[in-house]
Amino acid sequence: MSSSQQPDAESTIARMRDVLKRQQAAFIAEGPPSVELRIARIDKVIALLQDNQQLLCEALASDFSWRSHDQSLMTDVLLPIAGLKYARKHLRQWMKPERRRAELGAGLLGAKAEIHYQPLGSIGVMTPWNFPVAIAFGPLAEAFAAGNRAMIVLSEFNPATAALLIELLAEKFADTEVAAFIGGAEVGAAFSSLPLDHIIFTGSPRVGRLVMRAAAENLTPLTLELGGKSPTIIARGADLDNAARRIWGGKGISSGQACIAPDYVLVHEDDRERLLVSMQAELPRMFPTIRNNPDYTAMATPGQYQRLQSYLGDAEALGVRCIEINPAGEDLSSVRKIAPTLLIDPPQDALVLQEEIFGPLLPICSYRSIDEAIAYINARPRPLALYYFGDDQAEARHVLAHTYSGGACINEVMQHIFQNSLPFGGCGNSGYGRYRGGDGFKAFSLQRSVFSPARFDVMAMLRPPYGKLFRRVMGLLLRA
Are 255 and 337 spatial neighbours (Cβ–Cβ below 8 Å)? yes
Q: Provide the pLDDT for residue 476.
A: 87
pLDDT band at 13, cuts 50/70/90?
very high
Q: Provide the pLDDT for residue 245.
A: 98
4-18, 226-240, 312-326, 437-451: range with lowest mean pLDDT? 4-18
pLDDT in tens, 120-139: 999 999 999 999 999 999 99
Q: What's the rounded mean pLDDT across residues 21-38?
A: 98
User: pLDDT averaged over the chain?
Assistant: 96
Q: Provide the pLDDT for residue 175.
A: 98
pLDDT in tens, 234-289: 999 999 999 999 999 999 999 999 999 999 999 999 999 999 999 999 999 999 99
Omega before residue 465 within 30° of 0, cis: yes
Q: Provide the pLDDT for residue 301.
A: 96
More confident residue, 470 or 327: 327
Q: Which long-range contacts (CB under 8 A, 24 or more apart) does 16-21 make?
A: 16/151, 16/181, 16/187, 16/190, 16/191, 16/194, 17/194, 19/151, 19/175, 19/176, 19/179, 20/122, 20/151, 20/194, 20/195, 20/196
Reference 235, options 407, 386, 342, 406; nearest CA is 386
Are 123 and 139 spatial neighbours (Cβ–Cβ below 8 Å)? yes
Domain limits, the chain: 9-227+431-448, 231-418
Q: What's the rounded mean pLDDT across residues 146-175?
A: 98
Q: Is the pLDDT of residue 3 over 70?
A: no
Q: Provide the pLDDT for residue 420.
A: 96
Q: Provide the pLDDT for residue 1.
A: 56
Q: Report the catalytic residues.
A: 225, 259
Radius of gyration of the chain (CA): 26
Let me know the angle formed at the C-alpha of 363 by 358 and 365, rounded to the nearest 5 degrees. 145
Kindly write down the DSSP assignment for every residue of 368-401, as one continuous string.
SSHHHHHHHHHTSPPPSEEEEE-S-HHHHHHHHH
E strand or H helix at 317, and its extent? helix 302-317
Fold for the domain defined by 231-418: Aldehyde Dehydrogenase; Chain A, domain 2 (3.40.309)
pLDDT in tens, 320-343: 999 999 999 999 999 999 999 999
Q: Is the pLDDT of residue 211 over 70?
A: yes
Q: Provide the pLDDT for residue 117.
A: 98
Q: Is the pLDDT of residue 461 over 90?
A: no
Let me know the angle formed at the C-alpha of 148 by 144 and 154, rounded to the nearest 5 degrees. 75
Q: Provide the pLDDT for residue 4.
A: 54
Fold for the domain defined by 9-227+431-448: Aldehyde Dehydrogenase; Chain A, domain 1 (3.40.605)
